[in-house]
Structures are given as structure tokens and as C-alpha cells.
């Protein structure tokens, strides 16, 4: 990875319900943008990110 981003899964009732629809929630550093977060997720989990919505 070009930039180390800690991907900390958020686990609660709402995120468990979203996981059924293949939506996963991570807590990340506020300085990371959605492009670097998507790249980190793709590299770490070997998946293709369709949409990222940082909040």
C-alpha cells in the first residue's frame, strides 16, 4: 500500500444488518479520502469497491 490506513470494522446492530446486503462499515482516519480508503480495502480484502461514502 502506498499509504498505511487502519481499517477498523464498526460492529453494531445497524452494520450487521447492512452486511446482509454486502455493505461494510469501517472507521478510518479523518485525513484519508475515499479514493485511498477504497484502494486500501481493495488491497487488503482482495475485493472491488463499488461505492465509498466517507462520513
Give the per-residue SS3 of 5-49.
Answer: CCCEECCCHHHHHHHCCCCCCEECCCCCCHHHHHHHHHHHHCCCC
Are 28 and 6 contacting, i.e. CB atoms less than 8 angstroms apart? yes
Which structural domain range is residue 55 located in?
1-55
Q: What pTM does this model have? A: 0.75
What pLDDT was estimated at residue 2?
Answer: 45
Give tens-digit pLDDT for 7-55. 989 999 999 999 999 899 999 988 889 999 999 999 999 999 998 887 7
Domain count, the chain: 1
Q: In which residue are the cell numbers 482516519 written?
A: 29
- pLDDT higher than 70, residue 1: no
Amino acid at each position: 500500500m502506498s499509504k498505511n490506513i487502519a481499517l477498523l470494522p464498526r460492529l453494531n446492530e445497524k452494520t450487521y444488518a447492512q452486511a446482509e446486503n454486502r455493505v461494510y462499515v469501517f472507521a478510518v482516519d479523518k485525513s484519508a479520502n475515499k479514493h485511498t480508503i477504497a484502494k486500501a480495502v481493495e488491497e487488503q480484502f482482495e475485493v472491488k469497491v463499488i461505492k465509498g461514502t466517507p462520513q
